[in-house]
Structure 1
Amino acid sequence: MNKVNNSLFSIPFLKSLFFTQNKWHQHGVLAHTLRVTYNILKAGEWKFFMAGILHDIGKPFTAYKKDKEDVEYNEYSFTDHEERSYQIIKNWPFISKYTKDIVRYHYLIRDIKKSEKEDLPRFYEKKEIWETLDETIKADLDRFMLYDDLGKGDKKR
Protein backbone atom coordinates (compact mmCIF):
# COMPACT_ATOMS: atom_id res chain seq x y z
CA MET A 1 0.00 0.00 0.00
CA ASN A 2 1.07 3.57 -0.71
CA LYS A 3 2.88 4.86 2.38
CA VAL A 4 2.07 8.54 1.69
CA ASN A 5 0.04 9.99 4.55
CA ASN A 6 -0.75 13.64 3.86
CA SER A 7 -2.17 15.64 6.74
CA LEU A 8 -5.53 17.41 6.42
CA PHE A 9 -3.86 20.78 5.91
CA SER A 10 -1.00 19.75 3.65
CA ILE A 11 -0.72 21.27 0.18
CA PRO A 12 -1.20 17.92 -1.67
CA PHE A 13 -4.28 17.11 0.45
CA LEU A 14 -5.95 20.48 -0.09
CA LYS A 15 -4.99 20.88 -3.76
CA SER A 16 -6.19 17.39 -4.67
CA LEU A 17 -9.40 17.80 -2.66
CA PHE A 18 -10.42 21.14 -4.15
CA PHE A 19 -8.54 21.75 -7.38
CA THR A 20 -6.37 19.22 -9.14
CA GLN A 21 -6.06 15.49 -9.53
CA ASN A 22 -4.52 14.30 -12.79
CA LYS A 23 -4.99 14.08 -16.55
CA TRP A 24 -8.01 11.81 -16.13
CA HIS A 25 -9.99 14.09 -13.80
CA GLN A 26 -11.32 17.52 -14.68
CA HIS A 27 -12.09 18.32 -11.02
CA GLY A 28 -10.63 17.92 -7.54
CA VAL A 29 -11.71 14.95 -5.41
CA LEU A 30 -14.64 16.76 -3.77
CA ALA A 31 -16.28 17.90 -7.03
CA HIS A 32 -15.55 14.49 -8.60
CA THR A 33 -17.26 12.76 -5.66
CA LEU A 34 -20.31 15.01 -5.95
CA ARG A 35 -20.51 14.34 -9.71
CA VAL A 36 -20.25 10.57 -9.17
CA THR A 37 -22.97 10.67 -6.51
CA TYR A 38 -25.19 12.90 -8.67
CA ASN A 39 -24.99 10.43 -11.57
CA ILE A 40 -25.74 7.51 -9.25
CA LEU A 41 -28.84 9.26 -7.90
CA LYS A 42 -29.93 10.38 -11.37
CA ALA A 43 -29.82 6.73 -12.51
CA GLY A 44 -31.67 5.52 -9.41
CA GLU A 45 -28.80 3.19 -8.46
CA TRP A 46 -29.44 3.56 -4.71
CA LYS A 47 -27.20 0.63 -3.76
CA PHE A 48 -24.20 2.67 -4.92
CA PHE A 49 -25.13 5.89 -3.06
CA MET A 50 -22.85 5.54 -0.01
CA ALA A 51 -20.04 4.04 -2.10
CA GLY A 52 -20.29 7.07 -4.38
CA ILE A 53 -19.82 9.39 -1.42
CA LEU A 54 -17.03 7.36 0.20
CA HIS A 55 -15.11 5.75 -2.68
CA ASP A 56 -12.35 8.41 -2.77
CA ILE A 57 -12.39 9.53 0.88
CA GLY A 58 -8.79 8.38 1.26
CA LYS A 59 -7.55 9.87 -1.99
CA PRO A 60 -6.23 13.25 -0.72
CA PHE A 61 -4.25 11.39 1.96
CA THR A 62 -2.40 9.49 -0.79
CA ALA A 63 -1.71 12.36 -3.24
CA TYR A 64 1.92 12.52 -4.31
CA LYS A 65 4.12 13.45 -7.27
CA LYS A 66 5.01 10.07 -8.76
CA ASP A 67 7.05 11.11 -11.76
CA LYS A 68 8.28 14.05 -13.84
CA GLU A 69 4.92 14.22 -15.65
CA ASP A 70 3.14 14.88 -12.33
CA VAL A 71 5.67 17.61 -11.57
CA GLU A 72 5.51 19.12 -15.07
CA TYR A 73 1.70 19.32 -15.11
CA ASN A 74 1.32 20.02 -11.37
CA GLU A 75 -0.81 16.90 -10.90
CA TYR A 76 -0.89 13.97 -8.49
CA SER A 77 -0.83 10.19 -8.43
CA PHE A 78 -2.98 8.28 -5.94
CA THR A 79 -1.58 4.74 -5.79
CA ASP A 80 -3.79 2.46 -3.67
CA HIS A 81 -6.20 5.26 -2.79
CA GLU A 82 -9.06 2.77 -2.74
CA GLU A 83 -7.38 0.71 -0.01
CA ARG A 84 -6.79 3.88 2.03
CA SER A 85 -10.48 4.78 1.58
CA TYR A 86 -11.44 1.32 2.80
CA GLN A 87 -9.09 1.56 5.80
CA ILE A 88 -10.84 4.78 6.85
CA ILE A 89 -14.36 3.27 6.75
CA LYS A 90 -13.75 -0.41 7.53
CA ASN A 91 -14.82 -0.14 11.18
CA TRP A 92 -17.75 2.19 10.68
CA PRO A 93 -20.72 0.09 11.87
CA PHE A 94 -23.30 2.11 9.90
CA ILE A 95 -21.69 1.24 6.53
CA SER A 96 -22.63 -2.11 4.97
CA LYS A 97 -20.09 -4.74 4.00
CA TYR A 98 -21.33 -4.35 0.42
CA THR A 99 -20.48 -0.63 0.38
CA LYS A 100 -17.11 -1.30 1.99
CA ASP A 101 -16.35 -3.84 -0.74
CA ILE A 102 -17.33 -1.43 -3.53
CA VAL A 103 -15.11 1.25 -1.98
CA ARG A 104 -12.20 -1.16 -1.46
CA TYR A 105 -12.28 -2.69 -4.92
CA HIS A 106 -13.72 0.10 -7.08
CA TYR A 107 -10.45 0.61 -8.95
CA LEU A 108 -9.54 -3.08 -9.20
CA ILE A 109 -10.68 -3.62 -12.80
CA ARG A 110 -8.67 -0.67 -14.05
CA ASP A 111 -5.69 -1.55 -11.85
CA ILE A 112 -5.57 -5.06 -13.34
CA LYS A 113 -5.59 -3.70 -16.91
CA LYS A 114 -2.97 -1.06 -16.17
CA SER A 115 -0.63 -3.27 -14.17
CA GLU A 116 -0.71 -6.05 -16.78
CA LYS A 117 1.20 -3.64 -19.05
CA GLU A 118 3.37 -1.91 -16.45
CA ASP A 119 3.88 -4.03 -13.33
CA LEU A 120 3.43 -7.81 -13.56
CA PRO A 121 3.86 -8.58 -9.83
CA ARG A 122 1.09 -6.04 -9.06
CA PHE A 123 -1.01 -7.54 -11.87
CA TYR A 124 -0.82 -11.02 -10.32
CA GLU A 125 -1.58 -9.63 -6.86
CA LYS A 126 -4.65 -7.73 -8.11
CA LYS A 127 -5.80 -10.64 -10.31
CA GLU A 128 -5.68 -12.94 -7.28
CA ILE A 129 -7.94 -10.52 -5.36
CA TRP A 130 -10.34 -10.37 -8.33
CA GLU A 131 -10.61 -14.15 -8.39
CA THR A 132 -11.78 -14.21 -4.75
CA LEU A 133 -14.79 -11.98 -5.50
CA ASP A 134 -18.20 -13.36 -6.38
CA GLU A 135 -19.80 -12.67 -9.74
CA THR A 136 -22.37 -10.23 -8.34
CA ILE A 137 -19.77 -7.90 -6.84
CA LYS A 138 -17.67 -8.14 -10.01
CA ALA A 139 -20.64 -7.01 -12.11
CA ASP A 140 -21.41 -4.22 -9.62
CA LEU A 141 -17.79 -3.02 -9.66
CA ASP A 142 -17.96 -2.84 -13.44
CA ARG A 143 -21.21 -0.85 -13.20
CA PHE A 144 -19.84 1.44 -10.50
CA MET A 145 -16.90 2.37 -12.76
CA LEU A 146 -19.39 3.85 -15.23
CA TYR A 147 -20.44 6.37 -12.59
CA ASP A 148 -16.84 6.99 -11.56
CA ASP A 149 -16.03 7.78 -15.20
CA LEU A 150 -19.01 10.12 -15.48
CA GLY A 151 -17.66 12.02 -12.49
CA LYS A 152 -14.31 12.67 -14.15
CA GLY A 153 -15.40 15.24 -16.69
CA ASP A 154 -13.61 15.65 -20.00
CA LYS A 155 -10.06 16.54 -18.98
CA LYS A 156 -7.39 15.13 -21.22
CA ARG A 157 -3.98 16.47 -22.17
Structure 2
Amino acid sequence: MSAERFTLQDLADRAEIADLLARYSRAVDRRDFAALPALYAPGAVQDHGEAFCGEAALFIEWLRQTMGTMKTQHLVANMLIAIDGTEAQGEIYTINTHIFPGEPATQMTAGGRYLDHYVKREGRWLFARRRRVIDWSREEPARPSPYTTRSAQGTCGPDDPSFEELPLLAD
Protein backbone atom coordinates (compact mmCIF):
# COMPACT_ATOMS: atom_id res chain seq x y z
CA MET A 1 0.00 0.00 0.00
CA SER A 2 1.46 3.36 -0.99
CA ALA A 3 1.60 6.25 1.47
CA GLU A 4 -1.03 8.19 -0.50
CA ARG A 5 -3.60 5.47 0.16
CA PHE A 6 -3.29 5.30 3.95
CA THR A 7 -6.49 6.23 5.70
CA LEU A 8 -6.60 7.79 9.14
CA GLN A 9 -7.63 4.37 10.47
CA ASP A 10 -4.58 2.75 8.79
CA LEU A 11 -2.33 5.30 10.47
CA ALA A 12 -4.02 4.82 13.84
CA ASP A 13 -3.66 1.02 13.54
CA ARG A 14 0.01 1.31 12.61
CA ALA A 15 0.64 3.64 15.55
CA GLU A 16 -1.04 1.19 17.91
CA ILE A 17 1.03 -1.72 16.56
CA ALA A 18 4.21 0.37 16.97
CA ASP A 19 3.15 1.07 20.57
CA LEU A 20 2.57 -2.67 21.11
CA LEU A 21 6.14 -3.35 19.93
CA ALA A 22 7.57 -0.68 22.23
CA ARG A 23 5.58 -1.95 25.22
CA TYR A 24 6.88 -5.48 24.61
CA SER A 25 10.49 -4.22 24.55
CA ARG A 26 10.02 -2.15 27.70
CA ALA A 27 8.32 -4.96 29.59
CA VAL A 28 11.10 -7.43 28.74
CA ASP A 29 13.95 -4.99 29.42
CA ARG A 30 12.47 -3.77 32.72
CA ARG A 31 11.41 -7.33 33.74
CA ASP A 32 7.81 -6.15 34.00
CA PHE A 33 6.45 -9.66 33.48
CA ALA A 34 3.02 -8.59 34.76
CA ALA A 35 2.64 -6.25 31.75
CA LEU A 36 3.38 -8.90 29.11
CA PRO A 37 0.16 -11.00 29.17
CA ALA A 38 -1.95 -7.99 28.14
CA LEU A 39 0.05 -7.76 24.89
CA TYR A 40 -0.96 -11.22 23.63
CA ALA A 41 -4.23 -12.58 22.25
CA PRO A 42 -5.58 -15.78 23.83
CA GLY A 43 -3.71 -18.77 22.39
CA ALA A 44 -0.87 -16.61 21.01
CA VAL A 45 2.41 -18.36 20.20
CA GLN A 46 5.95 -17.07 20.72
CA ASP A 47 8.63 -18.79 18.61
CA HIS A 48 12.27 -18.20 19.55
CA GLY A 49 13.46 -21.31 17.71
CA GLU A 50 15.17 -24.01 19.74
CA ALA A 51 15.37 -21.75 22.80
CA PHE A 52 11.57 -21.60 23.21
CA CYS A 53 8.48 -22.18 21.10
CA GLY A 54 5.03 -22.30 22.64
CA GLU A 55 2.13 -20.43 24.17
CA ALA A 56 2.76 -16.85 25.23
CA ALA A 57 1.95 -17.53 28.90
CA LEU A 58 4.63 -20.23 28.99
CA PHE A 59 7.04 -17.93 27.16
CA ILE A 60 6.57 -15.24 29.83
CA GLU A 61 7.32 -17.77 32.55
CA TRP A 62 10.35 -18.98 30.57
CA LEU A 63 11.63 -15.39 30.42
CA ARG A 64 11.12 -14.98 34.16
CA GLN A 65 13.17 -18.11 34.83
CA THR A 66 15.97 -17.61 32.29
CA MET A 67 16.75 -13.89 32.26
CA GLY A 68 18.31 -13.84 35.71
CA THR A 69 20.47 -10.77 36.23
CA MET A 70 21.38 -10.15 32.61
CA LYS A 71 20.71 -6.65 31.31
CA THR A 72 18.90 -6.34 27.99
CA GLN A 73 17.93 -3.67 25.52
CA HIS A 74 15.59 -4.36 22.62
CA LEU A 75 15.69 -1.70 19.92
CA VAL A 76 12.95 -1.63 17.27
CA ALA A 77 13.95 -0.30 13.85
CA ASN A 78 12.27 -0.78 10.45
CA MET A 79 8.65 -1.87 10.59
CA LEU A 80 6.88 -3.17 7.53
CA ILE A 81 3.22 -3.71 8.46
CA ALA A 82 0.32 -4.95 6.34
CA ILE A 83 -3.21 -4.61 7.72
CA ASP A 84 -6.29 -6.47 6.54
CA GLY A 85 -9.29 -5.60 8.69
CA THR A 86 -8.74 -7.06 12.17
CA GLU A 87 -5.61 -8.99 11.18
CA ALA A 88 -2.16 -7.69 10.40
CA GLN A 89 1.35 -8.94 9.74
CA GLY A 90 4.66 -7.26 10.36
CA GLU A 91 8.33 -7.77 9.63
CA ILE A 92 9.99 -5.92 12.50
CA TYR A 93 13.75 -5.34 12.45
CA THR A 94 15.47 -5.29 15.83
CA ILE A 95 18.87 -5.08 17.45
CA ASN A 96 18.98 -6.72 20.85
CA THR A 97 21.84 -6.43 23.31
CA HIS A 98 22.26 -8.75 26.29
CA ILE A 99 24.88 -8.23 29.00
CA PHE A 100 25.58 -11.44 30.90
CA PRO A 101 27.13 -10.93 34.36
CA GLY A 102 30.46 -12.46 35.24
CA GLU A 103 34.15 -11.69 35.29
CA PRO A 104 34.45 -10.52 32.68
CA ALA A 105 30.87 -9.73 31.75
CA THR A 106 29.87 -10.78 28.22
CA GLN A 107 27.92 -8.72 25.71
CA MET A 108 25.90 -10.47 23.02
CA THR A 109 24.37 -8.30 20.33
CA ALA A 110 22.05 -9.74 17.70
CA GLY A 111 20.38 -8.22 14.69
CA GLY A 112 17.26 -9.87 13.49
CA ARG A 113 13.59 -9.63 12.81
CA TYR A 114 10.26 -10.59 14.32
CA LEU A 115 7.83 -12.09 11.84
CA ASP A 116 4.62 -11.05 13.58
CA HIS A 117 0.94 -11.81 13.22
CA TYR A 118 -1.44 -9.46 15.01
CA VAL A 119 -5.16 -9.52 15.72
CA LYS A 120 -7.44 -6.70 16.77
CA ARG A 121 -9.65 -7.71 19.69
CA GLU A 122 -12.03 -5.36 21.46
CA GLY A 123 -10.42 -2.40 19.70
CA ARG A 124 -6.81 -3.32 20.64
CA TRP A 125 -4.02 -4.81 18.54
CA LEU A 126 -2.37 -7.86 20.14
CA PHE A 127 0.27 -10.39 19.22
CA ALA A 128 -1.20 -13.61 17.79
CA ARG A 129 2.17 -15.12 16.78
CA ARG A 130 5.77 -13.89 16.97
CA ARG A 131 8.67 -15.67 15.30
CA ARG A 132 12.21 -14.49 16.02
CA VAL A 133 14.71 -14.72 13.18
CA ILE A 134 18.39 -13.94 13.84
CA ASP A 135 20.30 -12.43 10.91
CA TRP A 136 23.62 -11.92 12.71
CA SER A 137 25.09 -11.95 16.19
CA ARG A 138 28.28 -10.98 17.94
CA GLU A 139 29.70 -11.79 21.37
CA GLU A 140 32.49 -9.95 23.15
CA PRO A 141 33.66 -8.90 26.62
CA ALA A 142 31.49 -6.12 28.07
CA ARG A 143 33.29 -3.14 29.58
CA PRO A 144 31.33 -0.10 30.78
CA SER A 145 32.49 3.22 29.42
CA PRO A 146 34.04 5.58 31.99
CA TYR A 147 32.11 8.39 30.27
CA THR A 148 28.76 7.11 31.56
CA THR A 149 29.49 6.53 35.25
CA ARG A 150 27.94 9.87 36.29
CA SER A 151 24.70 9.27 34.35
CA ALA A 152 21.57 7.73 35.83
CA GLN A 153 21.90 3.96 35.55
CA GLY A 154 19.09 1.77 34.25
CA THR A 155 18.03 -1.34 36.10
CA CYS A 156 16.05 -4.44 35.17
CA GLY A 157 13.18 -3.90 37.57
CA PRO A 158 10.75 -1.48 39.16
CA ASP A 159 13.56 0.63 40.64
CA ASP A 160 14.52 1.76 37.12
CA PRO A 161 14.34 5.58 36.92
CA SER A 162 11.63 5.40 34.23
CA PHE A 163 8.99 4.08 36.64
CA GLU A 164 9.26 7.13 38.91
CA GLU A 165 10.00 9.68 36.18
CA LEU A 166 7.32 8.56 33.70
CA PRO A 167 4.20 7.45 35.60
CA LEU A 168 1.96 8.08 32.56
CA LEU A 169 3.56 5.03 30.89
CA ALA A 170 2.09 2.67 33.49
CA ASP A 171 -0.86 0.67 32.17
TM-score by length of 1: 0.27
Q: Which has the higher helix share?
A: 1
Q: Kindly name which structure, 1 or 2, has the bigger radius of gyration based on alpha carbons.
A: 2
Q: Which has the higher strand share?
A: 2
TM-score by length of 2: 0.25
